Amino acid sequence: MIIVLHNTVEDADKQHIKEYLESRGLKVREIVGDKETVLGAVGPVSLDIRQVELLPGVAQVIPISKPYKLASRELKKEDTVFDVGPVTIGGNRVCVIAGPCAVESREQIIEAALAVKKAGAVILRGGAFKPRTSPYAFQGLGEEGCKYLKEAGELTGMPVVTEIVSPSDADMMKEYVDMFQIGARNMQNFELLKKVGSLGMPVLLKRGLSATIQEWLMAAEYLMSSGTDKVILCERGIRTFETMTRNTLDLSAVPVVQKLSHLPVIVDPSHGTGLRNKVLPMALAGVAAGANGLTIEVHPDPENASSDGPQSLYPEQFEKLMCDLETLSPVVGKEISRLPDKRHLALAEEVKTHSAAKGKETVPKAAFQGIHGAYSELAAKTYFSGSEVEAVAVPHFSDIFRNVLSGDADWGIVPLENSVAGSILENYDLLNRYVDLGIVGEIKVRIRHNLMAVPGTKLENIKKVYSHPQALSQCSDYLEKEGMESVSFFDTAGAASHVAEAADTTIAAVAGADAAGYYGLEILAEGIETNPHNYTRFAVIARKDMISPDKSVDKASLVFSVADEAGSLSSCLSVFSEYGLNMKKLESRPIHGKPWSYMFYIDLDIPEDRSVFDQAVEKIKTLTEDFRILGLYHS
């Protein structure tokens, strides 16, 4: 059963509820969500739910109707997102696991690791124990293979996953691996599931050769009820009458499972097809079907692989696959997972500095303009994901700057340009005005508009649609086709909140998916913008005295004015070409109080050799007036 707790539940009451359930033979899991905390109680005994409803702190008790409970969406509505080492799995990320079928030697796995890492994989795979159909086939290097895999992972900064075939290997293997794989042949090896689950580590659970989706979810239930909540489901093809491919990759399982379970689902097109030339199209199809990731067999020399050579990609084929995924992912509202780069490491340091300056009790804050559910809040959450930073809403852009200057906020998230609508000029002026603030980072967010309304609203009954005029115009094809009238509102999240308050089933709002969650609206149509290549770039600003110098930055934002004479701007720009600096953007703004004079804002790539940039800056300073570096940061 699911026990929904009151928002205001006391710790002592919560503890009492848990003890009440556990003393009656139930296993209890606490799930803390954004809006509510629930307890999942599972076990062989069933209780009269009315008894539980009467306990102090309980808001509601809901029986679970599915045979799998901890894995079920009935228990947990939000997608499960967890980390495997530095890699976050689930939600809107596409995580790519790659490597050879088997670890064959130290050199082979290191070569494979370097190749897949270079192309963009984030987790390294490689079997050390190979469950082969023939007892005479290569069985894997065992513990030695685990050692080489770990070494290759450490060398490349990738966490590693490998298959476990026997419960007796678990304690040895946990020293080497970041995630266990349960192979298709062992999906219903319940003793193995119980042992691996009890370690509490991430597990990649392959679907059995002939397993139904329900049997697969029951296997996940074994893992979860034994002690882990970090399970990835992997569709790897099932046995059918078809013989043209090694297995039949059941891609419809992806959306089916995502409806039934909150667990991340990935696709294995290598075992799913058994044929190298079918891997790329089926990998793309897997992501298009909504998968949270892929596992791909890649071998430096597939012709001579000890196992699964015919389905292993050459490293060049894998590179092509990663490029195609890069293009496809945003179209389906996803982002390719990356290993933390210099920017993330620098950011973690920055957050630590701000937390220390504030004292332990207060969480550092990032101010954004708008109300909760706005795209700016999504930008703040994405930029600071993984760090404890609170996003605070302020009414105007200028409030962001004021709050950061006064120290009420540690950072500000400022939209600078949209790839469809262009620059947000007010913010360029504010950047120039607040000389004690600087840019410390940037984040690009895909703008994906959704049509949302109060639950129960029928699409065909919607007459009016509220949103920011820009969002409405970006969705005009859809709205016209559906015969809906556009009504301008001051912002997208504000429109969502208005529609929720009005509780009228003939109106809807266009806003980001988070706004639907905040205001209890239902999404009736996703991604309704005409052009899916719609991104907004935000600058992250902080007080200059809080910015720690970082030599590994790769982007600079500058602002200056030039004398009112022939060739003055072009002589500055030629300094950039003279030093081989790549200019990313040029924007000009009128200088207030000085009619027909302009400030020029320039973004540049900083090359690996930082001294080139420093020399160019010295030269530019001599050619300009009011020269200022707005920020040096990681792009």
Structure tokens at 98: 């790659």
3-state secondary structure of 215: helix
Q: Minimal distance in Å, beta carbon 588 to Mn ion?
A: 57
Q: How far apart are CA 427 and CA 437, in angstroms?
A: 13
Q: Minimal distance in Å, beta carbon 239 to ligand PEP?
A: 11
Contact (Cβ atoms closer than 8 angstroms) between residue 125 and residue 84: no
In the list Mn ion, ligand PEP, none, the entry touching 276 (Cβ below 5 to 8 angstroms by class) is none
Which residue lies nearer to ligand PEP by CB, 298 or 604?
298
Which residue lies nearer to ligand PEP by CB, 127 or 370?
127
Which residue lies nearer to ligand PEP by CB, 128 or 602?
128
Which residue lies nearer to Mn ion by CB, 101 or 437?
101
Q: How far apart are CA 23 and CA 47, in angstroms?
A: 12
- The residues, any chain, with a CB within 8 Å of residue 607's CB and separated by 6 or more, are 580, 581, 613
Per CB under 5 A, 529 contacts Mn ion: no
Amino acid at 257: V
Which residue lies nearer to ligand PEP by CB, 135 or 422?
135
Q: Minimal distance in Å, beta carbon 271 to Mn ion?
A: 6
Q: Where do the DSSP E strands lie in 591-624?
A: 598-605
Q: Minimal distance in Å, beta carbon 155 to Mn ion?
A: 22
Per CB under 5 A, 308 contacts Mn ion: yes
Residues 85-114 that bind Mn ion (CB under 5 A): 101
194 sits in which H/E element: helix 190-198
Which one of 368, 489, 538, 560 is the catalytic residue? 538
Q: Minimal distance in Å, beta carbon 183 to ligand PEP?
A: 3
Q: Minimal distance in Å, beta carbon 359 to ligand PEP?
A: 49
Determine phi and psi for 26, rounding to 5 degrees. -100, 145
Task: Provide the b/e sequence for 515-547 (b: ≥16 CB within 10 Å).
Answer: bbbbbebeebbebbbeeeebebbbbbbbbeebb
In the list ligand PEP, Mn ion, none, the entry touching 394 (Cβ below 5 to 8 angstroms by class) is none
Parallel/antiparallel/unpaired status of strands 485-488 and 464-467: parallel
Q: Minimal distance in Å, beta carbon 527 to Mn ion?
A: 35
Which residue lies nearer to ligand PEP by CB, 117 or 271?
271
Per CB under 5 A, 268 contacts Mn ion: no
Structure tokens at 213: 């989706």
Q: Is 88 a catalytic residue?
A: no
Q: How far apart are CA 602 and CA 629, in angstroms?
A: 10
Parallel/antiparallel/unpaired status of strands 522-525 and 450-453: antiparallel
Q: Is 37 a catalytic residue?
A: no
In the list ligand PEP, Mn ion, none, the entry touching 206 (Cβ below 5 to 8 angstroms by class) is ligand PEP
In the list Mn ion, ligand PEP, none, the entry touching 236 (Cβ below 5 to 8 angstroms by class) is ligand PEP
Residue of minimal Cβ distance to Mn ion = 101
Which one of 88, 273, 492, 536 is the catalytic residue? 536
Q: Residue 606 has what DSSP assignment?
A: P
Q: Minimal distance in Å, beta carbon 163 to Mn ion?
A: 9
3-state secondary structure of 489: coil
Q: How far apart are CA 454 and CA 519, in angstroms?
A: 9
For Mn ion, what does the binding mask look like between residues 413 and 442, x meaning CB under 5 A?
------------------------------
For Mn ion, what does the binding mask look like between residues 287 and 306, x meaning CB under 5 A?
--------------------
Structure tokens at 445: 């967010």
Q: Which residue has the tokens 């270079």?
A: 118
Interface with Mn ion (CB under 5 A), residue total 2
Structure tokens at 388: 């404890």
Question: Which spans of this chain sit near ligand PEP (rule: CB under 6 A)?
Answer: 101, 127, 183-185, 206, 236, 271
Parallel/antiparallel/unpaired status of strands 365-369 and 411-418: parallel
Residue of minimal Cβ distance to ligand PEP = 183
Which residue lies nearer to Mn ion by CB, 308 or 377?
308
Task: Provide the b/e sequence for 166-188 (b: ≥16 CB within 10 Å).
Answer: eeebbeebbebbbbbbbbbebbb
Which residue lies nearer to ligand PEP by CB, 189 or 557?
189
Point out which residues bind Mn ion (CB under 5 A).
101, 308
Which residues are marked as active site?
536, 538
